[in-house]
Chain A
Amino acid sequence: MSISNEDRQQIVAIIEQHQTLPGAMLPILHAIQDKLSYIPEDAISKIATALNLSRAEVHGVISFYHHFRTSKPGVHTIEVCRAESCQAMGSRELEQQAKQKLGIDYHQTTKDQRYSLEPVYCLGNCACSPAIRIGDDIHGEVDGEKFSTIIDSLSTYSLELS
C-alpha cells in the first residue's frame, strides 16, 4: 500500500524535526501516528536510515508496543479497558456488548471504516469503572447501554459534518 506524496513529505519533516533527540525513535513514531493515524510501511526505511538502524530494528520497536499500528484504523478507535478494576464492575460483559454493537472483534475495523476496537489495560479511571477511551476522551461507568449511546452520538455527529 503506497502513500500519498503529501504523507511522505510529512514523514520526512517529522523525522528531520526529531532525529537529533536522544532516543528519537518513540517520539518519531508517535508524531507519525498522531499525524497519519498509523505508521505506513514507507516510514520504516526512512526512520531506519535517519537513525542508522536496520529496518528490522525499527519494525521490532513498532511491533513491541501495543499503541503503534501499521494499518489505517477506522475514523474512531475505541479502546475498552480489560483490567481488573473494570472487571470488578462488569467489563467482561461490556466487552461482549461492544463487540456485538460494532460487529467486530478486538484489533478489527468495521467495514465502513468508521470504528476500530482495541483492548487496553487500565486508563487510570478505576474509581469509575468500567472505562473506555475514544480519542483523548475517557468515559467512565460504561455499561452496554451507555456504550451504545456514545457510539450513536459519534455517528450522528459525523453525519452532520458530511
Chain B
Amino acid sequence: MSPSQTTSSTNSSKHVQSQRVYVSLDTTARSKGSDSVADQVSRQLSQQPELAATLVRNGSRGMFWLEPLLEVETPQGRVAYGPVKPNDVSDILSAQAFDDVTDHPLCLGLTEQIPWLKEQQRLTFARVGVIDPIDVADYQANGGFVGLSNALNKTAQQIVDQVKESGLRGRGGAAFPTGIKWQTVLDEAPQQKYIVCNADEGDSGTFADRMLMEGDPLVLIEGMIIAGLAVGANQGYIYLRSEYPQAHKILNQAIANAQTAGFLGDNICGSDFTFNMEVRLGAGAYICGEETSLLESLEGKRGLVRAKPPLPAIEGLFGQPTIVNNVISLASVPFILSNGGEKYRDYGMGRSRGTLPIQLAGNVAQGGLIELAFGISLKDLIERYGKGTKTKRPMRSIQVGGPLGAYLPQHQWDTPLDYEAFSAMGAVLGHGGIVIFDDSVDMAAQARFAMEFCVAESCGKCTPCRIGSVRGVEVIDKLLDADDEQRPVHLELLNDLCDTMEFGSLCAMGGMTPFPVRSALKFFPSDFSLAKSVPAQSPTSSTGAQ
C-alpha cells in the first residue's frame, strides 16, 4: 500500500466547500471490506488537504454486489465507484474525481442514474445510503422530522386516521392493518401505554430492517415518536436481535443524538409531549420475532408465546396497552405523515398498498434491497434486478418469506408480489425476503431443514410445534430411506403431521413450518424419490421446473 501514488494536483482550490466522500458502514458492506477502504480514504484525504474533502460513513444503497461502494460528491451529483479495494482508493481520488464522472475502470457514473437504483420507488428507504445515519441535521436537511412536526399539529385521532388511510399493513409478515392496531390502543383509556418496535428480523433472506437501522435509524425513531403521539404512549422499546451488533451501536448513537437535539425526552419540539426510548437486545431466539413471545422476553422471561386474546394492543407489555410494530411499518409512518396517507396509498395493488422493501438473497448475481410498489412479479424482479444466479446455473426453486415460507417452483414465479396473491397459492410474502436456489438444491434436504429449524427454535409451549417438529425430522428421514412399498405409508404420516402442526399450533412457528415442507413435496417430488402422482400434488404442478 502506497497512498502517495496519486497524481498530485493543485487545481482543486476552486472547491469552496468541503466535499464529501462516502463509504458505507453497513454490515454487508463491512463484510466485504468497506472498513479498510474507509481507512484508506481517511489516510488519503489527510495527506491531500488541498482536496478539502471529508469522509462520511453512510448506510448502504443496497447494491451489495458493488460493495464496498465509494461515492464522491461532485457538482454534477454523487459519483459511484465499486467494488473498491483499498489499493484502488488513491487512483480514484484524483482531483478530477471531485469535478465529474471519471474514466476510472471502477466508475459507475452518477449513483442516482444507476438503473438498478433509479427504477426503484424508495419511500421508506429514501435516505438510506444517502445521509450520515446519526447526523440529525443531515436527516432534517433531507426531509426528516417533517412528519413529526405535522403530527404535533394534529389530534391523536387525526394521526391514526392518516395511517389508516395509507392502507399500511404490518411489514413484519403478518400484514395486519397498522391503523386498526393503533386505533385499538388509542381507544384504551389513558394509562401507561408502550410502543414496541419488533426489530427481531430473524427470517433468512431478510435484511431490510437491519439496513434501515444502520442507514437511517432516525426515521425509525421518528416513526416511534409519532406512534407515541397517536396513542398517548411515552415510552418506546426497540427489541433488537443480538445478531445485529452494528445496528445496535448505530441505533444507540442515533437515540443519543436525537435526545440532544430535543426530539426525545421531555417537551419534544417545544410541545408538552414526552417520549423516551431504549434499545433492548434479544438473545438468539427466532421465536421472539412473534409479538407475544417478544413481549415476554422484554419483560425478562423465557420467550414463550402467549395465547391470544388478550391482544397486545389491550394487554401488552407489562400488561399495558402496547403497539407492537415491525421496523419497516414504523419507519413508513414519517412518509405518511409528511406526504399524507393518500400519497402512500397511491402505490401498490389490491389491498397491498404502498411499497415493499424486497430483499434479493441466496444464490443471486445481484443481491440487495429493492423498494418497489406491490405488484411486480418474482420473474420480473429477478430478470431486471437479480440477473440470475451467482453460480450461473439455472434457478430451480425460490423461497419467499423466510424459513416458514413456501418454496416456489418456476410456474409460480409469475405471481405478483401481493399479500393476497401469495396467500391464494398457499405461500406467504412475509417480510419480503426472497432466497434463490439453483438446480443443485436438494429439496428433500430443505424440507428436512424446515422441521429441524422448528426443533431448534420452537418455544416449547404447544405440543404440535414442540413434538411435531421432532417427529417431522424423523418421518422425513424414514421417508427418504424407505422402499417403494413403505414410502406411501411415511408420506401419509408426514401429511397427517403437517395437518396437526398447521391447525393445532399456537402461533405461526408450528403453524407454518409445514408450508416449506408441503411445497417441497408437492412441487419437487422426485427429490423424495416420489413419482409424479403424489396425493398432495395439485393438478397444476409439474416437474418441469427441474
A and B held together in a complex: yes
- Determine the distance from Cα of A26 to Cα of B205 in the docked complex, in whole angstroms: 27
Cβ of A24 within 8 Å of any chain B Cβ, yes or no, is: yes
Cβ of A87 within 8 Å of any chain B Cβ, yes or no, is: yes
A-B pairs with lowest CB-CB distance, top 6: A127-B367, A25-B300, A83-B204, A126-B361, A65-B283, A88-B362
The interface residues of chain B lying within 8 Å CB-to-CB of A65 are 282-285, 303
Docked-complex contact A26 and B283, CB < 8 angstroms: yes
- Determine the distance from Cα of A87 to Cα of B435 in the docked complex, in whole angstroms: 10
Residue of A22, A66, A124, A129 with most chain B CB atoms under a 10 A cut-off: A124
Cβ of B436 within 8 Å of any chain A Cβ, yes or no, is: yes
Cβ of A122 within 8 Å of any chain B Cβ, yes or no, is: yes
- Determine the distance from Cα of A83 to Cα of B449 in the docked complex, in whole angstroms: 9
Residues A88 and B363 in contact in the complex (CB < 8 Å), given A60-B302, A64-B285: yes
- Determine the distance from Cα of A140 to Cα of B303 in the docked complex, in whole angstroms: 30
Docked-complex contact A23 and B280, CB < 8 angstroms: yes
The interface residues of chain A lying within 8 Å CB-to-CB of B438 are 88
Give the secondary structure class of B's interface: mixed
Which of A64, A84, A120 is the one whose CB lies under 8 Å from B205? A84
B: number of interface residues (CB 8 Å): 60
Docked-complex contact B31 and A121, CB < 8 angstroms: no
Residues A66 and B318 in contact in the complex (CB < 8 Å), given A23-B300, A125-B28: no
Which residues of A23-37 are within 8 A (CB) of B? 23-27, 29-30
Cβ of B335 within 8 Å of any chain A Cβ, yes or no, is: no
Docked-complex contact A127 and B360, CB < 8 angstroms: yes
Cβ of A139 within 8 Å of any chain B Cβ, yes or no, is: yes
> Chain B 71-95, CB within 8 Å of chain A: the 1/0 string?
0000000000000000000000000
Which residues of B226-277 are within 8 A (CB) of A? 242-246
- Determine the distance from Cα of A139 to Cα of B202 in the docked complex, in whole angstroms: 18
Which of B204, B282, B297 is the one whose CB lies under 8 Å from A84? B204
Q: With A126-B367, A127-B364 given, can you name 10 additional A-B contacts, CB distance below 8 Å?
A: A26-B282, A51-B300, A65-B303, A85-B205, A87-B446, A88-B363, A122-B243, A123-B243, A125-B28, A140-B31
Cβ of A154 within 8 Å of any chain B Cβ, yes or no, is: no
Residue of A25, A86, A127 with most chain B CB atoms under a 10 A cut-off: A127
A: number of interface residues (CB 8 Å): 42
- Determine the distance from Cα of A122 to Cα of B282 in the docked complex, in whole angstroms: 14
Docked-complex contact A128 and B299, CB < 8 angstroms: no
Interface 9-residue window, one of A1-9, A109-117, A130-138: A130-138
Cβ of A14 within 8 Å of any chain B Cβ, yes or no, is: no
A interface residue numbers (CB < 8 A to B): 22-27, 29-30, 51, 60-61, 64-68, 83-89, 92, 120-129, 131, 133, 136-141
B330 to chain A, nearest CB (A): 18
Which residue of chain B has its CB nearest to the CB of A61? B302
> Chain B 278-322, CB within 8 Å of chain A: the 1/0 string?
001111111000000000011111110000000000000010000
B interface residue numbers (CB < 8 A to A): 27-28, 30-32, 64-65, 201-207, 209-210, 242-246, 280-286, 297-303, 318, 359-364, 367-368, 390, 399, 403, 433, 435-438, 441, 445-446, 449, 453, 456-457, 459
Q: What are 22 residue pairs bridging A and B, where the CB atoms are less than 8 Å apart in the complex?
A: A23-B299, A24-B300, A25-B301, A27-B280, A61-B302, A66-B283, A67-B242, A67-B282, A68-B283, A84-B205, A84-B435, A84-B449, A85-B205, A88-B437, A123-B27, A124-B207, A125-B31, A128-B28, A129-B361, A129-B362, A131-B31, A136-B246
Docked-complex contact A122 and B202, CB < 8 angstroms: yes
Docked-complex contact A84 and B28, CB < 8 angstroms: no
- Determine the distance from Cα of A39 to Cα of B422 in the docked complex, in whole angstroms: 44
- Determine the distance from Cα of A126 to Cα of B244 in the docked complex, in whole angstroms: 13
The interface residues of chain B lying within 8 Å CB-to-CB of A24 are 300
Which of A66, A129, A137 is the one whose CB lies under 8 Å from B284? A66
- Determine the distance from Cα of A92 to Cα of B242 in the docked complex, in whole angstroms: 23
Which residue of chain B has its CB nearest to the CB of A25? B300
- Determine the distance from Cα of A141 to Cα of B300 in the docked complex, in whole angstroms: 36
Residue of B284, B303, B438 with most chain A CB atoms under a 10 A cut-off: B284
Docked-complex contact A64 and B302, CB < 8 angstroms: yes
Residues A126 and B449 in contact in the complex (CB < 8 Å), given A27-B280, A131-B31: no
The interface residues of chain A lying within 8 Å CB-to-CB of B390 are 89
- Determine the distance from Cα of A64 to Cα of B445 in the docked complex, in whole angstroms: 27
- Determine the distance from Cα of A156 to Cα of B48 in the docked complex, in whole angstroms: 34
Docked-complex contact A126 and B433, CB < 8 angstroms: yes
- Determine the distance from Cα of A65 to Cα of B239 in the docked complex, in whole angstroms: 15
Which residue of chain A has its CB nearest to the CB of B30? A138
Which residue of chain A has its CB nearest to the CB of B397? A88
The interface residues of chain B lying within 8 Å CB-to-CB of A26 are 280-283, 297-298, 300
Which of B201, B206, B436, B459 is the one whose CB lies under 8 Å from A88? B436
Which residue of chain B has its CB nearest to the CB of A79? B243
